[in-house]
Amino acid sequence: MTIGHSDDAFSDSVCDLLSIPVADRPAPAPDRQLHIVLVAPPYFDVPPSGYGGVEAVVASLADELVARGRRVTLLGAGRAGTKARFIRVWDEPQSAKLGEPYPEIVHAMKVWRIIERLHREDPIDIVHDHTFAGPLNAAGYRMLGIPAIATVHGPVDAEMCDYYRAFDRNMKLVAISDRQRELAPDLNWIGRVHNAINPEEWPFHTEKMDYALFLGRYAPYKGPDVALRAAHAAGIRLILAGKCNEPAEKAYFAEHVEPLLTATDDVFGEADAIAKRQLLAGAKCMLFPISWDEPFGIVMIEAMVCGTPVVALRGGAVAEVIEHGVTGFICDHPDELPDAIARVGEIDPHACRRRVEELFATDRFAAGYDAVYRQAVLTGIDSGRSIGRHRRATMVPSLSRKSGGTVRSAW
């Protein structure tokens, strides 16, 4: 489906835009299904055929929401691949321009025009954005009377916190881990929903082959060089299935990874969806030696659902995802990794899969976002001006609890 540009002109300035009153439309009846618009990034198909963690999350959410009887419209690039109604923003995914500002900004502009037109034809109850620049449209959505939320898929370091604090207050944020929210408690959070996968789409093997696996980007904070040193010290073959097409990734591989390779190591290349499942299911363990506050790390649950334990360095959401000694081992220093690799035979593959089924399956994930959507609609739109002000979200008591002074969502 293609929606053309609106003939309406944009306001001449941000101040003009913010002065326009919120559209006066009644809140949806409590028993009516919400019309949810999901906005995916412009870089990969949804779902992706290979690399594309955010796109995979969006695809799972779209399918689960549709399965729950919700009306879902998905805005993205490339082919239609979910059960949701699909509006193509770009004919071809902008994979080659990943990391450049152009696709982010143009994508946000295109999405705004589509939503403006779509809302007139089929009123939207909530916009759920999964992109970097998309939340800049929050003031426009407020003008239309549409509540909006954004899932924060990336880090919340000082620079990014300045960015998120600058959003129009209509854009409420969803964290993907408790750790992510704890690092920036003053942002406009409305809740926390862990990322998830559909266990039925993943193989489960109890018999493992004699190799460890590294699966991720070739970047210093992902630790492929740390994984190599740990595997060598543990005397186990390492397969590296890494993304290596951006200049920074190629440079890092050439300088820090390639010199460490031995005859027993295998550089597989970037794994597509089928190869990734095969590699994860067959691995004795997956190595996750990160050196940053990883917001979630979906590859950990992808490994565990296949019955494969994860050996990781402590950081970010690692301790939320892995149960130490039950579904893998969490180490505090790289020197501890070889001993942990030697102990992975102690881990029960069934326990690994069970943890994903109980905590990180897509049905629980969709229920969490359902609660967030209803809360956002219930909170509604504040028609006051937002320049120079920031206000935190108000939590609905029935959807939240307090633990140790930190507000946590209950789903």
Per-residue pLDDT at 145 exceeds 50: yes
Distance of CA 67 to the CA centre of its chain: 20
Mean pLDDT of the region 300-314? 98
Per-residue pLDDT at 155 exceeds 70: yes
Spell out where 223-284 has E strands: 237-243, 266-267
The answer to whether residues 93 and 52 touch, using CB atoms and an 8 Å cutoff, is no
Residue 273 has a pLDDT of 87
**pTM flag (> 0.85):** no
28-32, 114-118, 325-329: lowest mean pLDDT where? 28-32
In a 3-state reduction of DSSP, which class is residue 290?
coil
Residues contacting residue 104 through CB under 8 Å, at least 6 positions apart: 42, 131, 132, 133
- Confidence category of residue 132, pLDDT binned at 50, 70, 90: very high
Q: Hey, which residues does 330 pair with through a beta bridge?
A: 312
In a 3-state reduction of DSSP, which class is residue 406?
strand
- Confidence category of residue 13, pLDDT binned at 50, 70, 90: very low
- Confidence category of residue 28, pLDDT binned at 50, 70, 90: low
Residue 293 has a pLDDT of 94
Query: What's the pLDDT tens digit per position in 377-406?
Result: 998 886 544 333 333 333 333 333 333 333
Cβ atoms < 10 Å from Cβ of 204: 14
Residue 29 has a pLDDT of 53
Residue 397 has a pLDDT of 30
| Measured CA angle at 161 (ends 94, 61), to 5 deg | 50
Per-residue pLDDT at 11 exceeds 80: no
Is 337 buried (19+), middle (13-18) or exposed (0-12) by CB count in 10 A?
Answer: buried
Query: What's the pLDDT tens digit per position in 186-214?
Result: 999 999 999 999 999 999 999 999 999 99
